[in-house]
Amino acid sequence: MALNLQDQATRRMRRLVIALVGVVVILGALIVGLIAGNSSSKPDGGQGDGSAHRPPASANPAPTETAGGGDDTGYVAPAKWVKLPDGGKKVDGFPVQFPHTEEGAMAMLVSSSRNAFSWDAQHVEKNIRTYMVDSSREQMASAAAQGAQGVREHTGMPGTGPLPKGATLTAWPIGVQWTAKGADHVTGFVLVRLTTVPGTGQKAKTELIALPGDAVWQGGDWRIQPTSPNDTPTAPEPADLGADAFNVNGWMAIQEGDRR
């Protein structure tokens, strides 16, 4: 019985990887990690081991008297901050036309990561159509319903049909790190705090997820280049803002102009 349940869970995880591989490989590293027993997801407040990639040395910390140090409550302020640019305009409510810079690439990945976690297949499809490279857009858009179902299952919702009354889902990017492969290619990770309220009066569940992304410059804007989970680098250990591991694991806190 236990093995049967484990097999079912593994199949659900694999479906989620396939469905969301075109959405910043959303949950790809998470689900592969869960299958392998080395998850890139942690409950809120998880601590890392310091083995993650380091951020670019050019990132400027925000002015703060306590940056890098703790206070009486144990809070450790982020040592590095990065100001991510706004898009030049919006299409269907999604920001586009980001600057041709590393920060512009990460701003696009942050926007896609935030919007990829949705129980609404139409929202997932709009996200894909907005940010996917031309060659993969239609194929990935056709998997939008499967992607939304995967997010439902991951967050404990019914795979189809109405959601429980009062259920909410919020994905909030809190950190980034990246590597520039060239002027037109940036690979990175977005640290997302995912909070699910299963229904009215129920306790919220929060987890931290490190999401991989591959951004390429195409047609005057940054676009997502899908990669398979097997080609995705190992994600840095997630850690929340205020934890020492946030700095140790190389995360930069996000200063965004437009978080909608």
Distance CA 152, CA 163 (A): 9
Q: Tens digits of per-residue pLDDT, 152-195? A: 999 999 988 999 999 999 999 999 999 999 999 999 999 999 99
Structure-block tokens of residue 237 = 């250990």
Give Cα 212 to chain centroid, integer Å.
7
As assigned by CATH, the class of the 9-30+75-254 domain is: alpha beta
Distance CA 29, CA 232 (A): 7
Structure-block tokens of residue 175 = 């950190």
pTM (2 d.p.): 0.76
> Is the per-residue pLDDT at 69 higher than 70?
no
* Amino acid letter, 190: V
Q: 7 vs 68, which has greater pLDDT?
A: 7
Tell me how many degrees the CA angle 179-182-188 measures, rounded to the nearest 5.
25
Q: Tens digits of per-residue pLDDT, 83-142? A: 999 999 999 899 999 999 999 999 999 999 999 899 999 999 999 999 999 999 999 899
Phi-psi label, residue 130: left if phi above 0, alpha if psi -120 to 50, beta otherwise: alpha
Q: Are 22 and 207 in contact (CB under 8 A)?
A: no
Helical H segments across 37-154, by residue range: 102-116, 121-131, 137-141, 144-154
Q: CB within 8 A of 60, min separation 6: which ones? A: 80, 81, 82, 83
In the chain, where the domains are located: 9-30+75-254
Q: Are 172 and 207 in contact (CB under 8 A)?
A: no
